[in-house]
Structures are given as structure tokens and as C-alpha cells.
Amino acid sequence: MCDLCGCAVATGHVHVAGAQLPAASLHGASGRQVEVMRALLHDNDHQAAHNRAHFAAAGTFVVNLMSSPGAGKTSLLEATIRALRGRLSVAVIEGDLETENDARRIRALGAPAVQITTGNACHLDASMVHAALHALDLAPIDVLFIENVGNLVCPAGFDLGQHRNVVLLSVTEGDDKPEKYPVMFRAADLLAVTKTDLLAAVGDFEPARATRHLRALANAAPVLEISARSGAGLNGWIDWLVEQRARDADRTFEHAAHD
Amino acid sequence: MHELSVCAALVRQVLDVVPPARAGATGRIMLRIGPLAGVEPEQLRLAFPLVAAGTACAGAMIDIEPMPVRVCCRVCGEHSAARANRLICAGCGAWQVNLVGGDEMLLASVEFLAPPRVQQRERADV
């Protein structure tokens, strides 16, 4: 059972949107046309707000990690868990089409991890995350990372209840990705340029150009260059996390920053 | 192909406004979608009959009104049109703009067909 709303939750916890429909709009249905004017993903948004209430109750700061497959999300998480050891407790929800491989890598470092295998679904949604939350004790967790399915298209459309979106762009992918995938990069609260130890080998990736493409999406998010392998740039990333978490804690998680 | 998930959400919402007596009478479903919503209108059209099959909105038409990308400049205050991957003020070229349109993904309205006469007579009998 869900502690916050009292609903019986196992999987696919979805609040029926009809319950919130004003009676007036139903009366209108006897006519020819009913005005609705509501977000298509209203159910998901509602579930995301519910997740956010769970996070607020536990005082857990939640980061949604998104990127194409192989940009280094799990490697960044491994380095992050090591760096935060003794400072902040970390847990991870892993989204992949198949396998527990990523969750195993996280657990090997002593952090709790819940794997969501989506089958053929190309993104996580708020109800999948909610189901995973019931397999996780949030109370002792300071920072929860949700590692979304590797995909630069679909995950951007689904609010999970997170407080920040972090998008990774590895230097092997090309610095024009923000121009090609505007919906994803517009959603970023931080852009992490990863695998920077490979910059010289790649040759034609310019972090400044990636930043310009991000700004052309009217996005003022900070851009950090990070190598999980060498540790370069990791301090800046950890500082950002700690600072953002403190900022939300000050506001007692009342207004999640994702909009 | 998250259009399938979006479509499933659409069908659930439409079914919320279809009264049981009007099952099968959904004529037209009007949507408003901007290029920054991240869904492809054509894919949505393709996915709809698959998701709607066997429900009260099977056979309904999907009517998608494309919404333009518009920005409002925080530097010079001008409102202008923009491209989805170039949200720049047309007046002064600044990137410090607010998006004021183009990310909509809305169910605008649902239109019902006139109720068949047979159904009306049955209701009169009750």
C-alpha cells in the first residue's frame, strides 16, 4: 500500500484521471463537442507529482540522468558514489530494456539499486519509477539517481518527479547533438560533456560548440566537462550536486525545479 | 516509439469524457501539438487506431492542430517566431528568451457523432 495516498500499489500505479474531471465538462458531453484542454500526459504528470511527494517526505533529492546509450551514465554514477562516500548516501534506479548489469555495478559499490527492465519500452515513466520506489527505502537516501533508458528522444517527454535533469553528451557523439535533439537538451538543468579523456583522440569535438548549441535552445544550464575514468572535472560535478541539493532542501522541496 | 504510450494516455483521457451511453460515437478528437512536445503527429495518427481498437473511441478521427514555436525575449521584450532547434530572438538575436508556444501536447476537445435513432428509442422505452 502506498503510504502517502493510501492506494493499493503493486505495479502500474495509475490514478484514474476521470476522478479529477470537473462535473461540468461531463455534462457537456450530451452536446456535440466537449472542450477538454488538458495535457495528454496528464496521468503521468499526476503520478510524477505523487512521486515528488514521496521524495519530499523522505528528504531525498532526485536526479534524472538521460543520454544516448553508451554515453557513460553508469560510469559517472560509479565515480559519483565513490566521491560522495561518507558525505551523502546514494541510491540508484536503473532503467534498461534488459539485464540487471547496471544495477549489479552499482550494488558492487555498496549502494542500493533497483533495476527496472522495460522490455521494449524506450523510456521510463512516472508509474514505473513509483513501482521501483516501493522496492527502495528512501528514508536514509540523500540523493537518488534515476538512470533513464539510453535514448535522446523519448525520455524527455515523461516527468518522473525528479528535481533536476542531467543530460550527458560524450565526446565521441559529436558536439552538434543539442541541435539535433532539441527537446532532450532543452530539458537539461546541467549538461555533462563526458569521456573528455578521449577529446584528443576524437579531435573534432569542441565543448564550446556544444555549449553554443545548448544556448541556441535558450538553455542557460551549466556545462561541465567530466572524465569518469581520469577523475577530471569530477569535483565540479560533485559541488553542483551538493549545492543543488542544499538549495532544494532550503525550500523544503515545496516547488520542484523541473518545469 | 513513445507515441504509443502517448496514444494510450490519449485514449484513456478520451474515454473519461465519453459517457457510457455514447460509446462508439466518438467522431473527432482534436489535439494541439507543438514541435517541442517531442511527439511526431504522423506517428500518433498511425498509433491511434491500434490503441483505440475495441474501445468506445474506436474509429474516431484524429485532428492535429500544429502549434507554432514562439519566443519572448528577456533582453528586448520582442515576441517572435523561432525554429525548434534555434530559440533565438528574431529582434536582437539574444538566446535569453522564454518559450511561449511550441511545446504544447494538449487534448483540446472531443466531438461526438449524432446519436443513432435506434439508441434514442431504446432509451425512451426505459
**Domain B3-67+102-114 in CATH 3.30.2320.50:** yes
pLDDT digits (tens, 9 = 90+) for A56-96: 999 999 999 999 999 999 999 999 999 999 999 999 999 99
The alpha-carbon gap from A112 to the nearest alpha carbon of chain B, in Å, equals 29
- Give the mean pLDDT of A128-155: 96
Q: What is the CATH number of domain A44-250?
A: 3.40.50.300
What percent of chain B shows pLDDT beyond 70?
85
What is the pLDDT at residue B119?
A: 52
Asked if B120 is an interface residue toward chain A (Cβ–Cβ < 8 A), one would say no
A97 in contact with chain B, both atoms CB, cutoff 8 A: no
- Please list every residue in chain B whose beta carbon sits closer than 8 Å to the beta carbon of residue A217: 85, 87, 95
Structure confidence by residue, pLDDT tens digits, B1-17? 688 899 999 999 999 88
What average pLDDT does the structure give for chain B? 89
pLDDT band at A142 (very low <50, low <70, confident <90, very high): very high
pLDDT, one tens digit per residue, over A39-48 is 999 999 999 9
What's the pLDDT at A248? 86
Q: Shortest CA distance to B102 belongs to which of B90, B78, B89, B84? A: B84
Residue A61 to residues A72, A112, A135, B55, Cα–Cα distance (Å):
21, 15, 17, 40
- Chain-centroid distance, C-alpha A248: 16
Chain B residues touching A118 at Cβ < 8 A: none
| CB-CB under 8 Å, A37 with B106 | yes
In tens, the pLDDT along B89-126 reads 999 999 999 999 999 999 999 998 876 555 555 555 54
Q: Across the interface, do A25 and B17 touch by the CB < 8 Å criterion? A: yes
**Mean pLDDT on A122-147:** 96
Does the pTM surpass 0.95? The reply is no
What is the sign, positive or negative, of the torsion defined by CA atoms of A206, A208, A213, A219? positive
Q: Is the pLDDT of residue A22 over 70?
A: no
Does residue B18 belong to the interface with chain A, where contact is any CB pair within 8 Å?
Answer: yes
ipTM of predicted complex: 0.85
| Mean pLDDT value of segment A122-127 | 94
Give, for A53, the enclosing helix (H) or strand (E): helix A42-58
For residue B87, the chain A residues in CB contact (below 8 A) are: 182, 186, 216-218
Task: Give the residue, A5 or B50, on which the prediction is more confident.
Answer: B50
